[in-house]
Chain A
Amino acid sequence: EPEVTQTPSHQVTQMGQEVILRCVPISNHLYFYWYRQILGQKVEFLVSFYNNEISEKSEIFDDQFSVERPDGSNFTLKIRSTKLEDSAMYFCASSEWGPSGSSYNEQFFGPGTRLTVL
């Protein structure tokens, strides 16, 4: 069964360093998402991406964050200068379709990357 994959599973970095989290969405999916979950807290939407551009982003997704689809398979989240509060689990998700009126297409989540900022 196709699945979303993420690398690395755990990333440890020093405060102020740049990190790139990588995701390989399901191959026929067109919509891509990043979420984060701070330990013990809610899953929070960061950004959605479609047709090589951001379709929606949350207030969390500030100038320190960027996303890119550098080739036909990878989808990346870059944090330019990490802060202690960026420590969290980051989930990538993909869906075949986007929101359309009352319909919805299931978002498939990857296993996550645990980011630890020291």
Chain B
Amino acid sequence: NAGVTQTPKFRILKIGQSMTLQCTQDMNHNYMYWYRQDPGMGLKLIYYSVGAGITDKGEVPNGYNVSRSTTEDFPLRLELAAPSQTSVYFCASSFGHPNTEAFFGQGTRLTVV
């Protein structure tokens, strides 16, 4: 059972480039989340999804886009990378009420130069 898998683990982008961070889960979870964690800071919610076809903004959605075409996948898109997006990105998923435990991926370390 792989759980939550994120790719890539590391990436360096140039300013203005775009990329997609991939996240997939094999637990048939309804809920999926994207967080960013800046150095010395906590996790900030970027976007979340409560099921296929449904996405919602979190605390810091600007500069990002998401889609949820399947239950398994929840990719995060950066269209025009900026240095402020240098961070560690975490994807997570949960089954939903009443079993609301969130399972996390290993993270993607992104540097924008």
A binds B: no
A binding-site residues for B, Cβ under 8 Å: none
User: Which residues in B have some Cβ–Cβ distance to A below 8 Å?
Assistant: none
